[in-house]
Structure 1
Amino acid sequence: MFNEIFTLEAINDLSQNTLLEHIGIQFTEIGTDYLKATMPVDSRTYQPMGLLHGGASVVLAESLGSVAAQMTIDPHEQYCVGLDINANHIKSVREGVVEGIATPLHRGKKTQVWEIKIYNEKKELVCVSRITMAILDRKK
């Protein structure tokens, strides 16, 4: 399903000097139909009460969905942009690392929908998110 030009090293290199690098998001696994990444729960991702910020979870979710969508198309012909994202925050996290996994719900010619589930280190569901991506043609 994923374009073979995308490797973990390549997608992590694209994160340099971005928000992803700043908050410590690392892509960790490319499966046949999923993409995984981790994010630390620390001072970079806390909200004022010392819990994982819901916005940080959304950054992880959007990063996973956006990169996964981009990995399914020809990057020389098209590119993906987010249209909509939502998130339900299920469980709080105070420390450690969370892991997100993106899986496709719909892969059309002009839109894609991805589900992202985020888990704590005990494999408990922390957040579930859905992102809709538009697939746009590059100008020739």
Structure 2
Amino acid sequence: MDHQNPNPNDPPLPSSPSSTTAILDSPLNAVGFEIQILSPHRVSGRIVVSPKCCQPFKVLHGGVSAMIAEALASVGAQMAAGFKRVAGFHLSIDHLQSAEIGDLVLAEATPLSLGNTIQVWEVELWKAKSSSVERRDLVASSRVTLLCNMPVPKHAQPLVDTLKRLAKL
């Protein structure tokens, strides 16, 4: 991501994926997820499975997979909706195999339907090969359905402005 500030009055943009994630989604940041690509047609990122995102059997927690899915779909839907407020109202997720501590898990959200009121996004999580970010083993597949035509509350407008700058839209 290119983090240039066109307006000198704007606060500086984050310099790393982890700081971008910290600004946009505190829970994702807390488990170590890093947002890497932001656009109205693709949101992606990565997480190295660690004890802070695992369940007691030392594999990626299914709730963390679901949180990643909803978060990425929500950010993408907000951009695709012209930065209006969005709200997820249905999430379905299939956990297909485990990811263990140390595995690099990549996630990508893409829209299936970009309606004026309802959007549907598909989110996939997969383990990367150790030497590349090539898709390997699908960990989880989900669909997120969102309502996307609500006004942004005044207190959330600064976050929307930051998202616009981060996505360079």
Q: Could you say which TM-score interval applies, normalised by the shorter chain?
A: 0.7 to 0.9
Q: Does 1:117 align with 2:130?
A: no
Q: Does 1:134 align with 2:147?
A: yes
Deviations 1:74-102 (Å, cap 9, x if unpaired)? 22xx2101111010001111122211111
Q: CA contact under 8 A between 1:105 and 1:115: conserved in structure 2?
A: yes
Aligned ranges 1:1-140 → 2 under 5 Å: 11-15=20-24, 18-30=26-38, 33-75=41-83, 78-95=84-101, 96-122=103-129, 123-138=136-151
Q: C-alpha distance in 2, partners of 1:61/1:129?
A: 7
* AA partner of residue 146 (structure 2): M
Q: Secondary structure at the match of 2:146?
A: strand
Q: Which structure's residues are more often helix, by fraction?
A: 2
Deviations 1:46-76 (Å, cap 9, x if unpaired)? 111111111111111111101110111222x
Q: CA contact under 8 A between 2:22 and 2:29: conserved in structure 1?
A: no
Q: C-alpha distance in 2, partners of 1:29/1:57?
A: 18
Aligned-CA RMSD value: 2.4
Structure 2 gap ranges (5+):
1-13, 130-135, 154-169
Percent identity for Structure 1 against Structure 2: 28
Give TM-score, length-normalised by structure 1: 0.83
Q: C-alpha distance in 2, partners of 1:133/1:11?
A: 23
Q: C-alpha distance in 1, partners of 2:29/2:79?
A: 19
**Which has the higher Rg, Structure 1 or Structure 2?**
2
Give TM-score, length-normalised by structure 2: 0.69
Runs of 4+ in 1 over 6 A off after TM superposition: 7-10
Q: CA contact under 8 A between 1:39 and 1:60: conserved in structure 2?
A: no
Q: C-alpha distance in 2, partners of 1:31/1:132?
A: 18
